[in-house]
Each structure stands twice: as C-alpha cells, then as structure tokens.
Amino acid sequence: MATLHTVNKNGQPLELCLRVVNKGDSLLLIEDGVYALFEVPDILAELIKDVSLYVLEADVLARGVSNRNELEIELVDYQGFVSLTETNEKTLSWF
C-alpha cells in the first residue's frame, strides 16, 4: 500500500509527514514545501534512501529554488503529479 505524500510547507506539515512516511512511499514537495531543498537538505538526503523524492517544477522555478546539494530529486510537471497519484494507492496531503 504505497502512499504519495504531498507537502506544501516546512514546519509541522513536513515533520508529520516524515513521521509517518514508510519505505517505498513517494514524497512530492509542492508550493512552499520546495524550500525544504534549502532548509533541510540533510533530512532530504537521508530520506531519499528509502523514499522517492519529487519536486513540482512550476513551484521550484517560480521560487528560484535550485537543487544546490545535487540530491537526486526528480522534477515533475503537473502531468507527472497526476501520474504519481495514479501509481500510488493513496495520496495524503500535508498542509
């Protein structure tokens, strides 16, 4: 039962998501959630060992957030977002 988690903000939404994310789940950072690339790169680097990490392209580009730590995080567009919801059994949004 893999789950797609979307996170739209650091702080509580990200923290609670990290607490319940299971191995094999996917995590997509959207809206202000993409600032996690700046704010908690070490956490993401640890997370990526067990979880597929994605960021929403439009939100990354809009905010000028770059992936300076060269983590293997995949950029997805809206079509990719939809595909992720299809390949996971559940979608859980943290906001």
Q: By the criterion CB under 8 A, which residues form the site for other proteins? A: 1, 3, 12, 15-16, 19-22, 90, 92-95
Token reading at 62? 């809009």
- Closer CB to other proteins, residue 60 or residue 94? 94
Tell me the closest approach of the beta carbon of residue 69 to other proteins, in angstroms.
Answer: 26
- Between the alpha carbon of residue 8 and those of residues 11, 12, 17, 25, 30, the distances in Å are 10, 10, 11, 17, 5
Q: How far apart are CA 13 and CA 95, in angstroms?
A: 5
Tell me the closest approach of the beta carbon of residue 92 to other proteins, in angstroms.
Answer: 5
Tell me the closest approach of the beta carbon of residue 41 to other proteins, in angstroms.
Answer: 23
